[in-house]
Amino acid sequence: MPSDHAAISLKLKLPNFKFIPLNKRTFTKNEAKKINNKKLREVYVDSFKSSINDFIKQLVQEKTESSLPTSPHPTPEDFEQLEKFIVNKANELAEETTW
């Protein structure tokens, strides 16, 4: 059975970079940032836990102080705020730059 796909021919004209001397060629190397989980678990565990507990207490306090009647249950927005806080705090405490 013959194929119904048409043949495609591409001709690429790529620039020749041989005219740029090696010592003049530059590129930007992006830093990769990584959370050191071992450091987070062993060195910063107490401050990490206490900051998360403080954040949750603050979130509950803001909910109870608001003038709007709210449900005692957390909302999806509350979970999103908590998730962002956890990631930011972990980055702040145990982030390392790798090359």
Among 34-38, 57-61, 63-67, the least confident range? 63-67
Residue 39 has pLDDT above 70, yes or no: yes
pLDDT in tens, 45-54: 999 999 999 9
Indicate the residue type of 30.
Answer: N
| Residue 85 exposure: Cα atoms within 13 Å on the Cβ side | 17
Range of the domain at 90: 36-98
Domain count, the chain: 1
Q: Summarize the confidence of residues 65-69 as an average pLDDT.
A: 66
Is residue 5 a part of any domain in this protein?
no
- State the Cα–Cα distance between residues 74 and 92, nearest whole angstrom: 25
How far, rounded to the nearest angstrom, does the alpha carbon of residue 61 sit from its chain's CA centroid? 28
Is residue 47 a part of any domain in this protein?
yes
Q: Summarize the confidence of residues 32-48 as an average pLDDT.
A: 87
Is residue 78 a part of any domain in this protein?
yes
Evaluate if pTM is beyond 0.85.
no
